Amino acid sequence: MYKVIRWQTDGTEEVWEAKTKPTLDQLYKLIGCRTIERQSGYDKDISNRTFDMWMDEESKCKGPEFIKMNERATSAWITWMARTGHKCMHDDFIAGNIVIYKKNNEQQSKDYKKLSTYNL
């Protein structure tokens, strides 16, 4: 089983469980985009190790009304950079909704929604 987490720009978090790792098509729909990119993040609430964050590759190329900073994803990204010695441009940020997925070792998950119930 996989735990699939979406952090939205309004600060909300949605969690699903899936039997298999999400496909690219599923990621596109969850994020709301046509192209995706991967960035690394670190957040102890997600994992004690670095994890992949999947996001809209063109999020900063859209009109200003669509360019919304994702504060939680930006914080995880900046924390990862500080831990690993990476740097970014001053005031850079992650925009748009992001998805994280990770292997869930628990036999029975908590009250997560089934990813198959999401309109993919």
Q: What is the 3-state secondary structure (H, E, C) of the chain?
A: CEEEEEECCCCCEEEEEECCCCCHHHHHHHHCCCCEEEEEECCCCCCCCCEEEEEECCCCCCCCCCCCECHHHHHHHHHHHHHHCCCCCCCCCCECCEEEEEECCCCCCCCCEEHHHCCC
Domain of residue 10, residue span: 2-104
In a domain, 109, yes or no: no
State both tokens at 107.
């036999």
Residue 42 backbone phi and psi in degrees, to 5: -145, 125
Counted domains in the chain: 1
Give residue 63's pLDDT band: very low, low, confident or very high (50, 70, 90). confident
pTM of the entire structure? 0.86
Asked if pLDDT for residue 66 goes beyond 80, the answer is: no
Q: Tell me: the pLDDT tens digits for 13-31?
A: 999 999 999 999 999 999 9
Predicted local distance difference test score (pLDDT) of residue 109 = 57
In a domain, 110, yes or no: no
Asked if pLDDT for residue 59 goes beyond 80, the answer is: yes
In a domain, 56, yes or no: yes
In a domain, 11, yes or no: yes
In a domain, 14, yes or no: yes
Distance separating alpha carbons of residues 114 and 23, to the nearest angstrom: 15
Predicted local distance difference test score (pLDDT) of residue 111 = 63
The more confidently predicted of residues 53 and 89 is 53
In a domain, 118, yes or no: no
In a domain, 116, yes or no: no
Q: Tell me: the pLDDT tens digits for 91-112?
A: 999 999 999 999 987 655 566 6
